[in-house]
Structure 1
Amino acid sequence: MWVFTSTGMLSVVAHRDLKGSLLVRARSPFHIRKMFPYAAVDQTLDADYPFRAVIERELFANVMLDYSLNIDYDNFKNSIEEKNFHDHCLEVWATMRRYGLNWGRFE
């Protein structure tokens, strides 16, 4: 699952060995630390997502719930302060907009 927040993008998958945990991955360690400040973030330079943290499923769910309950912006793109991340999110938005314009072709 990809999760975009105002402070970063996370790729979240089931942990292969720890059933009660998720592997939260990112391309920037700050994206993980903003959401999970006490998590141990490991680095694997040759991985697609070089920064990773093992997060218990319940903690992940609680953090996402808290984040969603505290959204105070009315425009996601405008809520992103980091310019480089903002610009890349605009590219994602544009790609998905093009997808949405053609949704009927995929039914």
Structure 2
Amino acid sequence: MWIASKNGFISIVQHRDQPDQVLFRARVRKDLESLFPSQEIIETPEADYGYRVYVSKQQAVEIISNQVQEIDYPNFKNKIAQTPDQRDKLNAYHDIWGVMWNYAKNR
């Protein structure tokens, strides 16, 4: 699962060996720091996502639920433009939006 939020861009996948765990992954450390301010972030520089945090599925549900509860904007891209520590992602988020726009037009 990919999540693009005002806190950053993360990928969440099943832990390979522990079915009750998921792995939050990010390419930019600050994206995990915003979600896990007091948890150890594992660096994996050889991987496509260089930063990781392992959590239980229940913790993941709570984190994602809190993200939804904190939505305070009617337009996501405008919010990113107004969020100083995430503004650097605005062009990338526009690119994602455009790719999915084109995908939908061709369906």
Q: Using structure 1 for the length normalisation, give the TM-score.
A: 0.90
> Distance between the aligned counterparts of 1:49 and 1:43, measured in 2?
9
Unaligned runs of 5+ in 2: none
Say whether 1:56 aligns with 2:51.
Answer: no
2: distance between equivalents of 1:63 and 1:49? 19
Distance 1:61 1:39 in 2: 17
Report deviation, 1:15: 0.4
Q: Secondary structure at 1:48's aligned position in 2? A: coil
* Residue aligning to 1:22: 22
CA distance in 2, matches of 1:37, 1:98: 36
Task: Please tell me whether the aligned partners of residues 39 and 55 of structure 1 are also in contact (alpha carbons under 8 angstroms).
Answer: no
Answer yes or no: is 1:96 the counterpart of 2:100: yes
Q: Is the 8 A contact 1:7 1:34 kept in 2?
A: yes
Distance in 1 between the 2:65 and 2:104 partners? 27
Give 1:83 shift. 2.6
Q: Which runs of structure 2 are paired with 1:57-76 in the superposition (5 Å)?
A: 57-76=57-76
Q: Is the 8 A contact 1:26 1:32 kept in 2?
A: yes
CA apart distance, 1:27: 0.3
Letter in 2 for 1:72: D
- Asked if the contact 1:39–1:54 (Cα under 8 Å) also holds between the matched residues in 2, the reply is no
CA offsets per residue over residues 14-65 of structure 1, 9 Å max, x none? 0012221101110011111111222211111111001011011111101111
Aligned residues: percent identity? 30
3-state SS of the aligned residue for 1:17?
A: coil
Deviations 1:49-91 (A, max 9, x none): 0101101111110111111022110001111122321111011
Is 31-40 or 52-61 further displaced after alignment? 31-40
What secondary structure, in the 3-state scheme, does the structure 2 residue paired with 1:74 have? coil
> Tell me, which stretches of 5 or more residues in structure 1 are unaligned?
none
